[in-house]
Amino acid sequence: MRRGRATSRPAGPAGPHPPPGLRPPGLSPGAPGHLGRRGPQHPHQQDGPDRDPHRGRQRSPTPLLPPAPRLDAPQRLEPLRPALPLALISTATVALIYPAARLVGRRPGLLAAFVVAIAPFHVYYAQETRMCALITLLALLLVLCVLRLSAAPLRPGLWLGYLLTAVVAIYTHYYAFFVLLALNLFILAAWRRRRPLLIRWLLAQGLLAVAYVPWIVIQAGLLAGQAQARLEELGPAGLGRIVGPSLIAFSVGTTVEGPLAWGLTLGILFWVVLGAIALLRDPDRRPTGALLLLYLLVPMAMAWLTRPLMPFFFQRFLLLVTPAYYLLLALGLGVTGRRVPWLTALGLALVVGASGYSLRNYYDDTRFAKGGYGRLISHIQAHARPGDAIIMNNPDQRALFDYYRPEGIPAYMFPRAYPLEDPRTEADLREIAQRHPRLWLIIFGNPAPYDPNRFIERWLSRHGAKSYHGDFVDAGLDLYVMAPAPAAEEQPLRANFAGRIELLGYSLTPQEVAPGQILRLTLHWRALGSMERRYTVFTHLIDGQERIWAQMDSEPVGGTHPTVEWVPGEEVWDNYGLEVSPQAPPGEYRIEVGWYYLPTLERLPVLDEGGRIVGDRVLLPTAVVVGP
């Protein structure tokens, strides 16, 4: 079979069109299956069934914010203000790991501080305005407090420091509870015969639980809405998805892939295991070794055990346990340094080389760039037309949008003061679509918490035609053509794709266009049976020499109704916007449509009435005339 054509960029409003006939390998960012941030649209969720929005009374939505003034150079440095404290916190972690390692020796302290300072995983999050750097510092402080308490349990200052640090930690990230569980296991074992101290410890944990009640009350609804029952995550495969990527991230960051990542990680793990063995074999240092292992392993185990209920997991959630990993690594290097110095030199070379390679990727490889929101807004600014508007799906992007906001383009934030499924949301969208012929949709972050059913995308895909999709770091961008096109009668057309899908007809308008204008194509499909694969539709405007001058590839209904959800006999109306390349010469063009399987780009064959293969595409009978 032929493979689905996939250009480096579909002809559309996103920028320069590829030269006619150019078919470089790779996937089109215009296809929802493009392997970018969102994978086949959203990697963190499975698409739910298509459904009709509720009807409601018309309202007049207002733009998100009034026009923002142009920022001058000093104001453009504003993002450095929140980043600087995080950089200082990460630096403090480097400084704090030295006294932690000094509990077992001076040389491991220097090595541990050095390893943390160059660790790619730490460097990557050192200036990111999340809680990762802070919770790592707090977790290390908690471990130090417990180590000190185990040696001097009657010092009130240590108890107070522990309680205050623990309160801040549990309000910073819920994975702090996993660290507290590790510390409790250590104390229960260490003080099992010291009842007064154990009672005091349990009372302290009770105070922490009481301090956390306000957060539970406020967030109970959100947590209940995000909880999912996925018991299959408790199997060995689920454990592997937690432990494997996490160990790689601890060792070489997240920019090294494949066998090289595993090879480097296993080499570094040799010294980590050696450090743990050295601590456990020494009676004087055995309690410290036990605590470090609990600190490292218990949160990883809890991440696995709670995975069936939590909506998502990221390796950065376990950044808080990496001080234990690097302490054990430093101890292992120290052990071999006393006995086999050349082996320590080899280990240091491995750590430095792996870190340097990974950091080079962080700094020089655009695949690992952070902060693509500015490029996303620049893209809108460069390709917007009069009358365009922006819809932002996720209020968490408000501050970013306020900073980068393009001038002269109205913006609307969703969800509003009511749920997306509320009838007023559809009324808002209808009013916006009547005001603006084209709508840019910004999908920021993971949609699961704020639009799990992809309500906004579904509505826009049913009432408009998607003509562009692009993946940016932490965000996706879609363009929908909403302007009502002249009514076009559906043209009947029968085509059988591999006995799975049947094309019943299509409508196309207009049939005469100028370069840069958009064709509105609606395809009428019917499912001939159940499907286990997610197939992608390709739509190409081609000339007599088979050169592509407009393209929009997508899973059905703008990517919101994949073929795995289709039921036998179901009919689907599927809209596409094909923007004709500004360089398209005058002449007569045709539109070819078909299906392909994204992972392999293999097309579905077209069958005749006898079941024989007659091709892998359908040429629509209607000709398109491109004028000057």
What are 328-357's pLDDT values in tens digits? 999 998 888 777 888 889 999 999 999 999
CA atoms within 13 A on the CB side of 262: 4
The two structure tokens encoding residue 500: 């799975």
Q: Which amino acid is at 292?
A: L
Q: Do 495 and 355 share a domain, yes or no?
A: no
CA dist., res. 454 & res. 476, Å (int): 13
**Residue 393 lies inside a defined structural domain of this protein:** no
> Is the model's pLDDT at 158 over the cut of 50?
yes
**Residue 259 lies inside a defined structural domain of this protein:** yes
CA dist., res. 291 & res. 293, Å (int): 5
**Residue 276 lies inside a defined structural domain of this protein:** yes
Give the count of domains, the chain. Answer: 2
Q: What is the pLDDT of residue 52?
A: 30
Q: What is the pLDDT of residue 81?
A: 61
Q: What is the pLDDT of residue 96?
A: 87
Of 305, 339, 368, the last residue of a domain is 368
Q: Is the pTM of this model over 0.75?
A: no
Of 314, 348, 368, the last residue of a domain is 368
**Residue 24 lies inside a defined structural domain of this protein:** no
Q: Do 359 and 505 share a domain, yes or no?
A: no
Task: Give residues with Cβ within 8 angstroms of 1, minimum separation 6.
Answer: 602, 603, 604, 605, 616
Element of type H or E holding 263: helix 258-281
**Residue 391 lies inside a defined structural domain of this protein:** no
**Residue 340 lies inside a defined structural domain of this protein:** yes
Q: Do 194 and 331 share a domain, yes or no?
A: yes
**φ and ψ at 514, to 5 degrees?**
-105, 155
pLDDT tens per residue, range 480-524: 998 665 566 889 999 999 999 999 999 998 888 899 889 999 999
CA dist., res. 250 & res. 265, Å (int): 8
Neighbour tally for 15: CB within 10 Å: 12
CA dist., res. 554 & res. 575, Å (int): 10
> Is the model's pLDDT at 2 over the cut of 50?
no
pLDDT tens per residue, range 199-254: 999 999 999 999 888 877 776 665 555 555 566 667 788 888 899 999 999 999 98
Nearest to 141 by CA among 165, 106, 113, 177: 165
More confident residue, 473 or 27: 473
More confident residue, 367 or 518: 518
Q: Do 102 and 246 share a domain, yes or no?
A: yes
> Is the model's pLDDT at 431 over the cut of 80?
yes
Q: How far is CA 362 from CA 164, 255, 355, 368, 424, in A?
A: 35, 7, 10, 6, 44
Q: What is the pLDDT of residue 340?
A: 85
> Is the model's pLDDT at 359 over the cut of 70?
yes
Whether 601 and 587 have beta carbons less than 8 Å apart is answered as no
Q: Please, what's the b/e burial string for 588-604 (b: 16 or more CB within 10 A of its CB; e: otherwise)?
A: ebbbbbbbbbbeebebb
Q: What is the pLDDT of residue 486?
A: 58
CATH of the domain at 602: 2.70.50.60
CA dist., res. 555 & res. 536, Å (int): 4
Q: What are the residues facing 131 on neighbouring strands?
A: none
Element of type H or E holding 592: strand 587-597
User: Residue 99: is the preceding peptide bond cis (ω within 30°)?
Assistant: no
Which of 95-109, 171-185, 271-285 shows the lowest per-residue confidence on average (mean pLDDT)? 95-109
Task: Please identify which residue in the block is written with the tokens 């703008």.
Answer: 558
> Is the model's pLDDT at 49 over the cut of 70?
no
**Confidence class for position 82, pLDDT limits 50, 70, 90:** low
Whether 29 and 398 have beta carbons less than 8 Å apart is answered as no
**Residue 578 lies inside a defined structural domain of this protein:** yes
> Is the model's pLDDT at 457 over the cut of 80?
yes
Strands of the sheet with 571-579, listed across from one edge: 571-579, 518-527, 501-509, 491-497, 606-607, 613-615
Three-state secondary structure call for residue 444 = strand
Look up the domain containing 145 and give its range: 80-368
> Is the model's pLDDT at 403 over the cut of 60?
yes
**φ and ψ at 425, to 5 degrees?**
-65, -45
> Is the model's pLDDT at 63 over the cut of 70?
no
Q: What are the residues facing 3 on neighbouring strands?
A: 602
User: Residue 63: is the preceding peptide bond cis (ω within 30°)?
Assistant: no
**φ and ψ at 370, to 5 degrees?**
-115, 160
Of 336, 368, 400, the last residue of a domain is 368
**Residue 313 lies inside a defined structural domain of this protein:** yes
pLDDT tens per residue, range 432-442: 999 999 999 99
